[in-house]
Structure 1
Amino acid sequence: MKKLSARRRHPLAAVVVLLLALAATGGLYAAFAPASKAQADDTAQSLAIDEGKKLYAVGCASCHGAGGQGTTDGPQLVGVGAAAVDFQVGTGRMPAQQPGAQVPKKKVIYTQAEIDQLAAFIASLGAGPSIPTKNQVSPRARTSPRAASSSVPTARSATTSPVRAAR
């Protein structure tokens, strides 16, 4: 009997049991773990694009065309990027009351969430500048009078919405 129990207690038996337990735990975790952050981000982006498309159809398509291709009343939006939408809509320049070269500023009619959705939809039409983050905007460029009069575009003058820069 001593010989039989000695065989069962092989020194590597405990290691094999531990490895099997770890593999089973990892497999169960992988099977039941929540979706990855990348999948969640893709889903949120898809929802933002869908909502932005609805907003675009109601407030923008009559001048800029159903697919952003432009019309005689409004320029093409394919390739302008999210930054242009954030600036134009976030400062009240769009939607315009009437077409013109320089649309006057008026009260902003969209919430920031709706502006972000419109920006996501327009960005999906073609590559263009994205909305800069706070880290990409130089505080000096925002406050320096010299930077405002310079012929070299600053981060704010080129792509940043005052609404975003203030956050």
Structure 2
Amino acid sequence: MAELTYLGGYPDPLKAQVQQLIATGKLGEMLAKRYPESHQIQSDKALLAYTMGLKNRYLKSSAPLAKVVFDGKINVIKDALGLHTYVSRVQGSKLKAKNEIRIAALFKEAPAPFLAMIVVHELAHLKEKDHNKSFYQLCQHMEPDYHQLEFDLRLWLTWRDINNTNGSPAA
């Protein structure tokens, strides 16, 4: 029986369904059918442009972003899928704070909707610091299928761990 590390907070009947998909070898097939296309965003520059496009569309008045990068050091299980940080620096007599978003490098190989979901999640932290009702409402405003994508991303991470692969479910 596969360990469902990424599905800890979900109800047991749902976990049982996932276990059944894993046992029959159909989890990867289901994900490949649902998310057949990857994305072309492979560089930090492309990720910044993509993120700024979403930010300018949905969060025009929010704080500016100083940096958006893929980060190979983010450990998906221990840390997160992405990180939103404030970097404070003293410049002369002023304290300057800059917003940075770091996305786990594994999302270079993820289906496009999963990258969108992670970017939306991190952008929402510009307005809402905590994972509260307002935060998730903002995520859904930017990505209406946010909750389904988050669940499917957890399934993809589970499938990826089981198969020890770095690619798409079709691989």
**TM-score when normalising by structure 1:** 0.22
Which is richer in helix? Answer: 1
The structure whose residues are more often strand, as a share, is 2
Structure having the higher Rg: 1
Greater relative CO, 1 or 2 (CA 8 Å, sep 6+): 2
